[in-house]
Amino acid sequence: MLLSIFSVQLGAAVAKELFDRLGPDATVSLRIGFAALVLLLLRRPSVGGHSRGDYAVAVVFGLVLAAMNFSFYQAIDRIPLGVAVTLEFVGPLGVAVAGSRRMLDVLWVVLATVGILMLAPLGVLGKVHLDLMGVAFAFLAVGFWAAYILLSVRAGAVFPGGTGLLIALCVGAVVLLPVGIAGGGHALLDPKLLLGGFAVGMLSSAIPYSLELAALRKLPARLFGLLMSLEPAVAALVGFVVLGERLGLRALAAVLMVTGAAAGASLSGTRKPID
């Protein structure tokens, strides 16, 4: 799981380095396209024998996956990686505590809310200089990530063995292809940039996907969730080391609050192992 988390954030950092030449539109298209191609070649899934409703779920899953990644890449093009991941992480945190009536879960929501307010560019709890459009895209990614989690459960029940996610990646690749061509133009013919896009696809999708499948077979749900809660902190660390993105004390405190809220929600949640 730790390798998966670092792989995802390193992939995001490499993607951000490509933005100057490719732009976020072409970069996200290459990421999803290469990830879908490699996993399709490696797994060669059987997708026959399902109803139209089942395929509809997979298609909607793919559309949400494409929108989630597109929004996230637009966000990290404008705001630091650690901040974008912190804001986006509200999605899975919200899904984790949705419908809960326990006071402890309310505490995690309050802690995360305070952390988000500390990042508010309008200075709710002190001004942090962030691009408003970047923040808007990050919150858009929040909604798509929440939908992604719910749809992944549905698709996993219909298409076993990760086939649902693979179909979704293929749908996302097709949807993002014209966006990528329009955004990248002639730069997409540069072998070095294509290699960079391939690296992003491997680091951000193919490698972590395989690692998480292995982890899910061995880890109880609460430990899996606890490790996933490290994403914002790891993103801030990778952003600093790879991209030189420095966060102020207030922003770092906000990252730690959201990370702590996600960790707390995971620890106080289900203790049943994942099959």
Q: Is-contact 129 121, C-beta < 8 A?
A: yes
Say which residues have a Cβ less than 8 Å from residue 160's Cβ, sequence separation at least 6: none
Q: Is-contact 89 256, C-beta < 8 A?
A: no
pLDDT of residue 127: 52
Say which residues have a Cβ less than 8 Å from residue 121's Cβ, sequence separation at least 6: 127, 128, 129, 130, 131, 132, 135
Neighbour-count burial of 17, counting CB atoms closer than 10 A to its CB (0-12 exposed, 13-18 middle, 19+ buried)? middle
Instruction: Report, in this order, helix, strand and coil percent for the chain, each rounded to 5.
Output: 80, 0, 20
pLDDT of residue 124: 42
Q: What are the 10-residue block averages of pLDDT along the chain, 275 residues in total? A: 91 93 94 91 74 87 94 93 83 63 70 73 53 89 85 81 84 94 91 94 87 75 72 88 85 82 67 39
pLDDT of residue 193: 93
pTM: 0.82
- Taking only the tens place, the pLDDT of each residue in 155-171 is 878 887 778 888 899 99
Provide the angle, in degrees to the nearest 10, between the axes of the packed helices 103-118 and 90-97. 160
Q: Is-contact 220 273, C-beta < 8 A?
A: yes
Tokens 């290459």 -> residue: 30
